[in-house]
Amino acid sequence: MSVTPSSPSRRVAMLTLGCARNEVDSEELAARLDAEGWQVGTDAENADVVLVNTCGFVEKAKQDSIDTLLAAHETGAKVVAAGCMSERYGKELAQSLPEASAVLGFDDYPDISARLNAVLNGEKLDAHTPRDRRELLPITPVARRDTTVVVPGHAVVDAATPAHLRPVLRRRLENGPVASLKLASGCDRKCAFCAIPAFRGAFVSRKPDELLAEAEWLAGTGVRELVLVSENSTSYGKDLGDPRLLEKLLPQLAAITGIVRVRASYLQPAETRPGLVEAIANTPGVAPYFDLSFQHSSEPLLRRMRRFGSTDRFLDLLASARQLSPEAGARSNFIVGFPGETRADVDELIRFLSEARLDAVGVFDYSDEDGTEAAGLPGKVRKSTIKKRYDEVVALVDELVNQRAEERIGSTVEVLVDSVEDGEVEGRAHHQAPEVDGSTMLVAGDAGVDLAALRPGDFVRATVTGTEGVDLVAVPTEMISAAAAR
């Protein structure tokens, strides 16, 4: 990577939409720009260029990306679109959104500084023609180990040097006690409703030594909890010749000085092996938390989705986790209204939800996505019917997750403090992932922990005394690990 700085007066604002994986990608881009002399921040009002890392997952996310690009244009800065929607649509997006000075694909990331300099210099950059990025890598996973294909969030500086001696190509854009660590990118699954593999590419794992080096670097910046992200974390290591690699990596990450909790996310039920369940449930320092992508529970409909499982199999999986860790947390997402869904399918989903005791649930109403198998399937469910089913499931879910939170009253939880504002101390227990789940409000009690002395990054033991919907209210009883003074 070149280190010739651009004009020090040039300022870029990074705006990130979508998932935690995008956040990691943005921080790689921020590091590249910082190394080239750019002033990198997140304030669009004071920037020369606003770089929007877009999301292209579903229609609402795409609309949010467009709205953000248009709002950035109103600041008077040059606006550049990057990320998933830009990769997915390329020239089509550029033609329909003249407010964007450039639309960049993933292949532009290594030269991001030069691309932004060109934009500021008034040059016209041609947007790419999208292609299926799965075709850029070998079909056999183990043949992908030494790929030269650009994979966002995977870049390294000086690959010939041992990972623990290399600079980490990442610049944090937020300073909180939690950070995502990208295990892998891409996906080899062929879910009928999902377009992600086509623009994110085939599955590629990052090497363990790179992950450990980056985790140590993150800990050095004040990070206390690592959230492991990917499109499919249960596939981690299959292209490195060891499908059990995540089970081995978890205790190594948890042992890093300063890290108090490691959280795995994006688990595929069909690939969640007993050994991985045990590692997540029983490894000290690893949150007993199961973020399982069920999507539905009716076996016939799951087959139509090109997925595997059933209500009873999924309940057995949850039971196996809770047998090892009775207080284990679990969350999932579900699609209502997939083509061919019948009333019997919905009733089966309701049976599963009623018995699963999930802590958090996301519900999506189905809509066709460009380039997916499902878009061409017969048996489309009427929009009015989808809405009724969606409203029914959401109402049930709201009731069930609130009940599940109430079940935790009287239990002891370990809470990482996220924020302290105006005397309110908010954090998360082991079953509460950042952004997507509930939180825990810490309140004063008779125990020996001084609430007023708590700071972000402190890790405390607390007794749950109440709930507010899905959120918990708890009294801290013991300091487990105080955040280092910074």
User: Which pLDDT value is given to residue 435?
Assistant: 83
194 belongs to an annotated ligand binding site: yes
> pLDDT tens digits, residue range 82-130?
999 999 999 999 999 999 999 999 999 999 999 999 999 999 999 999 9
Question: What's the confidence (pLDDT) of residue 59?
Answer: 77
Separation CA 282–CA 447 (nearest Å)? 28
* Residue of 189, 193, 278 lying closest to 235 (CA atoms): 189
Could you tell me which residues come within 8 angstroms of residue 169 by beta carbon, excluding any fewer than 6 positions away?
Answer: 1, 28, 31, 32, 155, 156, 157
Check residue 295 and report its DSSP letter. Answer: B
19 annotated binding-site participant = yes
Amino acid occupying residue 359: D
Given a cut of 50, the residues of the chain with pLDDT beneath it are 1-6
68's tokens: 């953000």
Tell me, what's the pLDDT at 2?
43
pLDDT of residue 418: 97
DSSP SS3 for 12: strand
Between the alpha carbon of residue 130 and those of residues 255, 370, 376, the distances in Å are 42, 13, 21
Decide: 13 and 47 in contact? Cβ < 8 Å.
yes
Cβ proximity of 253 and 212 under 8 Å = yes
Are residues 420 and 454 in contact, defined by beta-carbon separation less than 8 angstroms?
Answer: yes
8 A C-beta contact, residue 461 and residue 477: yes
Residue 8: predicted pLDDT: 57
CB 438 within 8 A of CB 432: yes
Residue spans of alpha helices (H) in 339-381: 343-356
Residue 84 among known ligand-binding residues: yes
- Residue the block writes with tokens 């790419």: 128
Cα–Cα distance measured from residue 243 to residue 262, given in angstroms and rounded to the nearest whole number? 19
Question: Whole-angstrom Cα distance, residue 28 to residue 152?
Answer: 8
The backbone region for 255, taken as left when phi is positive above 0, alpha when psi lies in -120 to 50, beta otherwise, is: alpha
